[in-house]
Amino acid sequence: MSLLRVCAFVKCLNRRNLFEKSSVRVSFADCCHLCVSLRNDAVRRISGTPFQLQRRNVSFVIPKTDDGKKRVLEQSQLLDVLEARIHQLQADVVLDFQHAKVQFVKAPSSGRGSLPGKGAKGGPQEKTDITKSGQTVSKGAAKSQPSRWMEKLSQEKKIKLKKQQHIQQKIQNKPTAKSKGSSMLPGTSHKTISTTAKKTVPSVKKSKGHKMLADEIRAAVSSTAAVVTAAMPHKASKGKQKKLIKQVPTVEGQNQTVTDAESRAKELAEVEELERRLSQQAGQAMHSSKSERQQEDSVGTACGDLQKSIHSYLEACVFAGENQRAHYFLLSQHRVMSRRKHLNTDIYNIMMRVWAKKGTLNQIGRMFILLEEAGLKPNLGSYCSALESMGRNPNCSPKIVSRCLSQMEEDGLSVDDVFSQCVFRQDERDMVLKAVHIVQPDYQPRLNTAISDCFSPLVQDYYIQREDHQYPKLDFTHDELQECFKRQLSMEQACTVTIDSVEASKPVSENMAKMRELLADQRAQWQKILLQALRESKRILSNTDTKNYKLNLYPYLCLLEDREYVDIMIQSVANMPPSGESLKILARDLGNRVHTKYSVRQKNKNQIVEKLGNIYNAYTELLANDSEAYYILPREQWCALEMEQSSGPTLQGGEIHWPYIVTLELGTFMVDMMVKNLKINSDILNPAYNRKLIPILYHMYTFRSTRQVGFIKPHPIITQMQQEAMETKLTFDSYVMPMLCPPMPWTSVKFGAYLLTPTKLMRTVEGATQHEVLLEKCQNLHAVLDSLNQLGNCAWKINKPLLDIIISIFNDRGSEKLDIPPPLSEAPKIPYFNSQDPSYTASEKAHMKRQVINAKKKCSEMHSLRMDALYKLSIANHMREEIFWFPHNMDFRGRTYPCPPYFNHLGSDVTRAVLVFAEGKKLGPKGLDWLKIHLVNLTGLKKKSSLQGRLEYANTIMEDILDSADNPLNGNKWWMNADEPWQALACCMEIANAVRCSDPIQFISHFPVHQDGSCNGLQHYAALGRDIIGATSVNLVPCAVPQDVYSGVAQQVEEFRARDAEQGLKIAQVLEGFISRKVVKQTVMTVVYGVTRYGGRLQIEKRLKEIDEFPKEYIWDASHYLVRLVFNGLKEMFTGTREIQDWLTESARLISKSGHTVEWMTPLGLPIIQPYHRTRNQVLKSTMQHINLQITHDTKERPDTVKQKNAFPPNFIHSLDSTHMMLTALHCYSAGLTFVSVHDCFWTHALTVDTMNKVCREQFVALHSQPILQELSTFLLQKYCSGLSSEAKNKKYQEYRRLMLLLAKVPQTGDFDLQQVKESTYFFS
């Protein structure tokens, strides 16, 4: 018999697996033949059944005699016996769930086979399953009857179990009794089977099977005298034996062991209770659906990028009219099995739409056959195309329609689902309805109008009880809003907008005129050259074999007019900085511009614009001031209007987002064309040079850190021409500009903001899709969407007097003190020296090289800042007579941002200062006081004073305030010393206008007044932990004067320093007199957002360098010392904060170690997932260079544990502060207030500051009255600890148990009364 028989049997099993798998091969072969027959337009049946083919393929491996069958049965029984004995041996050495490794002797090979595993070359590794009864069954082998050996093993197991139960009872009855005899219990002595052979086969591990938690607890108690604990698993090293030394424990040691066992049993009982509770909450149905959903997600992720590439390629072909190319491409993908697996039903539906437009039902029938071959099921889109085709066919038989509808019913789909869930283009909906009317003449679609009422408890009353709501109107008539809509639509259809530069006011010199003329001539030539090059490239690409399965760029180059591609390329040259641009960034921008234009063209082609205009016309009645009052929200109004006007194309959905790799590839192609074809005469500026054509763009390489990066750099000649021309026009993409009409309300994840320009609800890393998947599955995002709509509906206008002052300084020479960047003429001259000159020493050359590098860096920075300011001021100047709006979206934490990137209220002091509310409101009795307090806040001078103290200070400096307003550039210039000088000047002007009014109470003010949170991150931590000391430090508790947490930490650090200085610590003595609020502020502020000690040290180092008197040689030691004191001081002041932060960090660490990314829900129901995965490198090959993409969001990669754990605390707090802001926004809107925010800084009119403050405090209390940490714990437990298979639990049981216990152990909270926040003046001030 020996082990060689076993080896032979394993080979036989492998052959059986081949037999079983062959059926899959045959079905695939059938599909391929059928695909070929379709291509020839004739569907032929394949002769020969699959079973016959299987038998033909594998008959040679099946034993044909009775002797062979008998031998297989004997071998099967032998294998059962051997593996049962292994099972027994392993069970004998289990100590607290540990395995002793069992090794086999490798038998001398006789050429007949070898043991499975890595040690046997060429032999596939055989997997085994342990059944509940303890039998071992090889996969693919027939199950044999239990032998007497197996019965004996089962009997031994029962005896052992009784002994363990007996010992457990003794321990429970007499916990302090002395153990007698050996420390090893019966049946637990270690046995090691080893060999003298040098090469061994890897050990066979015993699977734990489906062991119940009660068994785990018993096993834990039975191992009370175990020498080795669970934290130190056994590891078998090759060629070495591990010897266990038995020690006889003392009485104290035995007692300690018994106590440890009891605590361990208690811990495991807690785990069992948690599991029971989780299973009750989740339910079996949820588990099954969850596992199915996870499986779908994993499958979708595995080939998601390629699926999107195929989908976008086919859509591009169809849009460009290349239907034959699309058809052949789909067939080429379908024919080959390795490619077919990347196709899904929606990809086949693209071609079905094409045939449906032509009414060719037979082609759609062939697509249904292809779907069946691919193992896919038709979905609503498939049936929608079939019905559309029937509707377009005037002679369609009712039988065909009836058959289609009954097939839908069999698949669990209804006609109503088609009308409510499908995306219709052009007249598709009408055609589908026409087809249904053939068999059901009276049918009318029943759309689902029921609104989900599963609101968060935080907003349930808000949506149900609306009697007191007073939604604000815009200061526009209905006709005015219609005119605004037409202007915005026109701008978005053009996709670009050209505006005057603020530098246009400069007088035109002779040289400027010459350079402008030269540039215009060159651009005209470049356009002709690029047009010719583009058409030639398209001709070459179009001649490639259309039957070839490879994706190419040809359809993407046919989406727009040729001249539009050329205009995009010419525009990118004009916008390129002198220092150049990264190839990857430049390519991405070019690709995105093409995609934006394509999306707009697609909406025009689908006839969406006309319907959009009709709905928007009715929608503006809600906002216009000449219409009746409505008691519904903008989102609800838009949805209701869409329901009423349901005929025609669908507005929502249908956008095709290109994969990042496609965008990059198209952009790289365009850059390559520019580099190769755009040239200029070398003597264009200096006729003395020899004339030759030189490229205006160079492809070069530079280093970013240690990575080599491709760079596109303009030639100095073109840079000089552009700088000297100082052109008067700037061209921007339309989405860069603020909107000229109120944004479309966000009604779903895929619809809102701009009229035609595609916009994402959630900003993500390029290519990340996990956020979008979560959002689409989310049941109710109404509160989140409504808050974004409220922020976007705030109308703005320009503060013209202030803008004129800023532009005058900008066109003069700028001012670094006032944050107005100077022109490049003020930049330091780059020194020139000859590195080959022997008169320079090596050190002098090195010094001069450093000077050159620093000068170039300074010039690059100055150009960047200057262009940024030029864009912002030019946009502001263009909008100076307009009323405009900022549509909003959010990042993955829920923090909101305006969509226009350059000019918005989240910008610098300059951009904030030139923005005021379009709607004016009376100051009222307290409005002027709030303006004065706001001005003092902007100066930063009286942060420790009470509000009354700040008001009194403002009254004492009224002379300076009025002088600043009247003579900003020639007076005392008091405003220039403020922390935010331009906003301070704007406030001075508003106060001057108000006090000079005959009745300041009646003065109409457009000025926004800010209320800023007092270290808002720590406020949320203190509220979560109900930490009284922490709450007092961050003004959650009412106080006469504001508490300054930064000064408090600085004072504590100074006490620590003084104590160390007394003990003779040198660095503590050096730091005497240098510890201030400013030194520690940034570190204290960012600790709550996850800054590490390393980052904190760099922050403190930077502050110390700013102190001229501090000895520079001590900076490193001092920063290292101070960061430790700051962290210790915070730990003492905010004990609850540190505990919560540690709990969040450790939870994220264990979750990511288990292979999952951290995910949670905000109290408003917004799903959040951290997209940090291990970096995967993907290479994009192009003719220019290979671009290495470092992808950190790929869900197929394991989570990045360090990023996951470090980011969870700050991201969680950011999600809470965004929730608080959204709640405040909703309730301010229902109270009729104008409200906007910059994260934790809230803005409103001076009249309504008190109302906003009341709402802000009430919503903070309401938010933190929810059991936030308990709900987070429950969510994480259900997400990561429930619905796991027993195999998954047993695989890494220790990690699973540790994670479950940690997540269940929510940090304890203190006794702080949240209601005190409502009375705290300085909570937000």
Catalytic machinery residues:
1012, 1081, 1240
Radius of gyration of the chain (CA): 37
Residue 388 is encoded by which pair of tokens? 């559309």
Query: Comparing C-alpha atoms, which of 205, 187, 10 is closest to residue 104?
Result: 205
Bridge-based pairing state of the strands 729-733 and 496-500: antiparallel
Residue keyed to tokens 């593996």? 83
State the Cα–Cα distance between residues 1119 and 1094, nearest whole angstrom.
Answer: 10
**Length in residues, the chain:** 1325
State the Cα–Cα distance between residues 137 and 129, nearest whole angstrom.
Answer: 6
State the Cα–Cα distance between residues 92 and 166, nearest whole angstrom.
Answer: 18
Which amino acid is present at 317?
C
Is 1187 within 8 Å of 664 (Cβ atoms)? yes
Contacts of 985 (CB under 8 A, 6+ apart): 802, 805, 913, 964, 965, 968, 975
State the Cα–Cα distance between residues 822 and 813, nearest whole angstrom.
Answer: 5
Is 918 within 8 Å of 796 (Cβ atoms)? yes
Which amino acid is present at 161?
L
Is 712 within 8 Å of 580 (Cβ atoms)? yes
**Nearest 5°: phi and psi at 664?**
-65, -40
State the Cα–Cα distance between residues 841 and 845, nearest whole angstrom.
Answer: 6
CA end-to-end span of the chain, whole Å?
Answer: 88
**Nearest 5°: phi and psi at 180?**
-110, 150
Helices (H) and strands (E) in the chain, counts: 46, 25
Residue 103 is encoded by which pair of tokens? 């090794």
Which helix H or strand E contains 754, and what residues bound it?
A: none
State the Cα–Cα distance between residues 838 and 859, nearest whole angstrom.
Answer: 29
Contacts of 67 (CB under 8 A, 6+ apart): none
DSSP per-residue letters across 8-37: HHHHHHHHHHHHHHHHHHHHHHHHHHHHHH
CB atoms within 10 A of CB 464: 9
3-state secondary structure of 1201: helix
Sign of the CA dihedral running 1109, 1111, 1114, 1116: positive
State the Cα–Cα distance between residues 569 and 563, nearest whole angstrom.
Answer: 10
CB atoms within 10 A of CB 717: 18
State the Cα–Cα distance between residues 950 and 1022, nearest whole angstrom.
Answer: 27
**Helices in 2-147 by DSSP H: which ranges?**
2-39, 50-58, 66-92
Secondary structure (H, E, C), 768-806: CCHHHHHHHHCCCCHHHHHHHHHHHCCEEEECHHHHHHH
CB atoms within 10 A of CB 386: 26
